[in-house]
Amino acid sequence: MTSLSHRLGLWFAHVYVLGICGTLAGAYFFQFGLWEHPCPMCLLQRMFFLLTAIGPVWIIVRSRTGSVTTREFAAGWGWSIMAAILGGMVSAAQVLMHVVPPDPGYAGALFGLHLYTWALITFVAAAFAAAVALFLTQFAEPLAAASAGLRTAARITPMVLLAFAGTNLVACFLLQGLHWKMTGDPTGYQFFGDIG
C-alpha cells in the first residue's frame, strides 16, 4: 500500500503538469484556431501557468535520479502554490477590469465565461491541488521513478512542458514583434508587420 501511495504521488505530479499544458493548449486553440489574439495580461497569465508547473516538473526530474526528499517535495508544491496565487491575482485583475456592464469583455467566451475568468478558476484549482499534494506529503514520499512507466513518463512530461514554454515564447515574439513591449490589445502578429 505504501509503495502504491508513493507511485500515486508521483503520477499526480505528471497529471498536474499535463493539466497545465492542456490549459495552454486550449488557449492556443483560441489564438490559432479562432484567431483571437491574447492581450498582454493573457500572455502574463500563460507565463504564470508555466511557472506553476515548474515545481512538479522539478519533483519529476528529481525522481529520475533517486528518491525525492520531503524538503524537495514541499518546495516543488510550494512553488506551484505561489505561482498559482500570483497568476490568480493577474486573472482576478483582468476579471475586475471587465466586470462592469456594458463592458463585453475581451475576446470570446467558453460556456459563457471569458478565458481570463477560466484562468482564475484554473489557478484556484491548481493552488488547491498543490495544497492537497502538500497535505498528503507523508503518504506520497519518498518518491522515485521505480516502475518502467514512471521512468518513461519522467522523460516525456518535462519535454511536453518545455515544448509549451518554447511555443509560448515564439507566439509572444510573433505578437510583439521587434518591440520592447506590446502596445495595447493586439489585432495581428506585429512581427510580420515589422518585417513586411
State residue 55's pLDDT score: 95
State residue 186's pLDDT score: 76
Q: For residues 74 and 59, what is the distance between their CA atoms, to the nearest angstrom?
A: 9
Let me know: does 92 contact 120? Beta carbons within 8 Å.
yes
Lowest-pLDDT choice from 19-28, 31-40, 108-117, 145-154: 145-154
State residue 23's pLDDT score: 95
E-strand stretches of the chain: 109-110, 113-114
State residue 83's pLDDT score: 98
- Which long-range contacts link 174-177 to residues 24+ away (Cβ below 8 Å)? 175/37, 175/38, 175/43
User: Residue 113: is it exposed, middle or buried by C-beta count within 10 angstroms (0-12/13-18/19+)?
Assistant: middle
The residue among 4 and 148 whose pLDDT is bigger is: 148
Q: Quick check: 13 pLDDT over 60?
A: yes
Q: For residues 23 and 18, what is the distance between their CA atoms, to the nearest angstrom?
A: 9
State residue 9's pLDDT score: 78
Greatest mean pLDDT among 76-80, 182-186, 191-195 lies in 76-80
- What does the pLDDT look like over 114-165, one tens digit per residue? 889 999 999 999 999 999 998 887 776 656 666 788 888 889 999 999 999 9
State residue 165's pLDDT score: 96
* pTM (global) more than 0.75: yes
The residue among 19 and 180 whose pLDDT is bigger is: 19
Q: How confident is the model at residue 1 (pLDDT cuts 50, 70, 90)?
A: very low
- What does the pLDDT look like over 52-109, one tens digit per residue? 999 999 999 988 887 777 888 889 999 999 999 999 999 999 999 888 888 777 777 7
State residue 15's pLDDT score: 95
Q: What is the mean pLDDT of residues 1-25?
A: 83
Residue 186's CB is within 10 A of a number of other CB atoms, namely: 18
